[in-house]
Structure 1
């Protein structure tokens, strides 16, 4: 029986997050569902609805541009995006937008950071899981996954920065940037808002990848509530000052059920099957791309290995294991 559940927001902004008596600014918020295949929201303090709407529309346009460029499933008129690259880059080098060069260059860095646990060249395997998950009827045969995994060498992704081209040295190589894209774009959003002086106090959520801009108008930190998959209570509440990213990878966010067993969307490169160490892993960092990358990597490795990786890159993390035990790094700033 087909059963696909997509929990689109990994985090909940606490009601008190935007409680402020400063009469000059009011909290405004808008949500959208059509970008990055997930639910997202933009929330900010501004002087009026009209001012917020004007700024929102410009920012939405920026995000939409990234969503279309980084889309691996859909074509768009006059846009050379990742789907076009997947379909054509094995034939000859494809001229691309510099934003694609930047993302894929970071993707290679993410591979090194995580010792291969996050691999944007895993598309041939992940596309099989995507298709089977959409049908929701069965698991892909191991032989099919093993054969596809022969075409996941990231060294066959050739990035020519000087000429702004991408080439695949394997005609069956496919890219899947889902483990890094929203965090990477959150960094770009932060840059856009701060460089253009759009807002001094805002919270952006791309499918639950959260980044804060500034503090609340009363100068207090934001508070981010992390979803507990087992109850309506928060797993934790985190203080977040300016440029704090909070990203969760979870088995409950997107999965399907076969013969009574749930299979999540996060695939362990070592087994070619869904990772099964934790229910969720949350990463807190001032670098949203790094937080996105490491939340996936930590989800796919045992706790001790994950703690060493978290320490190496000076990020904070919260693990919820299969038995509902919570483990935190020492630097997590939990709100009372």
Structure 2
């Protein structure tokens, strides 16, 4: 699939609640559609904000020959820059709080075997997948030096766009921007009031809305329906334990006052975990969440996301259901 989905990305910005007119600028960054929506008085800062995104892209890219992750995968040991070191600290934290379901060494599958995002995409055999070395325990960090154990391949795609949004938001604040919206693909940061509509994973239209008032809010969506080889059965979200594509949930959207990098990783992990574990994860992290199953049924956590079940022809599971009961609905046959 073409990695640049532009406005068809997981989250769509439809409108702003802020009184001052915002001007939108957009560019291709990290293999996808990136945008900034800023007040006219600060639109001159857009260039510096996109530059911040590109710093993250260079540090974390596994495609570019000068990318930090690409060099580490090739050389096995490098002196890492501050962006890569910070990102790897997120990798470790997410690995711990998700019980290993978020694993930045998933590249042993996504990069080495499936080769997602290249002209050489392939579906590996079961024996090839089982032999792949996947575990963050194979990443050694000593000061600024990062080393990979034999067989380990890094892929920071599960949080890289979130890192880019965090750097861009910091640049915006440094430039004096107090209100605006910044996004890379399905990862968005609201600076002040905004509205973000969640794309219908089955087609056109939207299925829900995230609204923010004062302060900052991170929003992240992870889904199995956009990037795959042949069919969504071989999508890019891989369970690091089963070493196969996720199929339990079609779409996961999270919203919280957290760094986008962390929220991005949490959404990625929730999309590949057993459903009940994903529910426990988002509850423990106090994020608003919207899970969409293959039949259109919806589970919502928190009050920060409005849902439109009629858009899917599905139903919203009642919040009074226990995690076990809700999980049983969400993982029924065909989901």
TM-score, with structure 1 as normaliser? 0.83
Structure-1 residue corresponding to 2:35? 41
Whole-angstrom CA distance in 2 between matches of 1:200 and 1:59: 14
Name stretches of at least 5 consecutive residues in structure 2 with no aligned partner: 309-335
Q: Distance in 1 between matches of 2:240 and 2:38?
A: 38
Map of 2:254 onto structure 1: 283
Residue pairs, 1:191-210, within 5 angstroms? 191-194=170-173, 196-210=174-188
**Partner Cα separation in structure 1 for residue 290 and residue 109 of structure 2:** 28
Tell me, yes or no, if structure 1 residue 140 matches structure 2 residue 119.
no
8 A Cα contact 1:74 1:83, kept in partner: yes
Whether 2:237 is the aligned partner of 1:243: answer: no
Shift in alpha-carbon separation, 1:225–1:145, aligned structure 2, 3 A: same
Q: Match for residue 122 of structure 1?
A: 106
Q: Counterparts of 1:175-214 in structure 2 under 5 Å?
A: 175-194=154-173, 196-214=174-192
Higher relative contact order (CA 8 A, sep 6+): 1
| Residue 166 in structure 1 maps to residue 146 in structure 2 | yes
Does the Cα contact within 8 Å between 1:124 and 1:152 map onto a contact in 2?
yes
Q: Secondary structure at the match of 2:244?
A: coil
Q: Name the residue aligned to 1:103.
A: 87
Equivalent residue of 2:302, what SS? coil
Which residue in the other structure is 1:82 paired with? 69
Residues in 2 aligned to 1:126 and 1:311: alpha-carbon distance in whole angstroms: 29
Cα deviation per residue 1:242-276 (whole Å; 9 max; x = unaligned)?
31111111111212225xx6421101112211101
Q: TM-score, normalised by structure 2?
A: 0.84
Pairwise CA distance, 1:239:
1.0
Distance 1:110 1:167 in 2: 19
Secondary structure of the 2:306 match is: coil
User: Helix, strand or coil: the match of 1:307?
Assistant: helix
**Cα pair 2:4 2:33 within 8 Å, conserved:** no
Q: Choose 1 or 2 for highest CA Rg.
A: 1
- Give 1:30's match in structure 2, choosing from 25, 41, 47: 25
RMSD: 2.3
**Residue equivalent to 1:218:** none
Counterpart CA distance in 1 for 2:71 and 2:34 is 25
CA shift for structure 1 position 135 = 5.2
- How many equivalent pairs are there? 304
Task: State the Cα distance separating 1:204 from its structure 2 match.
Answer: 0.6
> In the TM superposition, what is the alpha-carbon distance from 1:138 to its structure 2 partner?
5.6
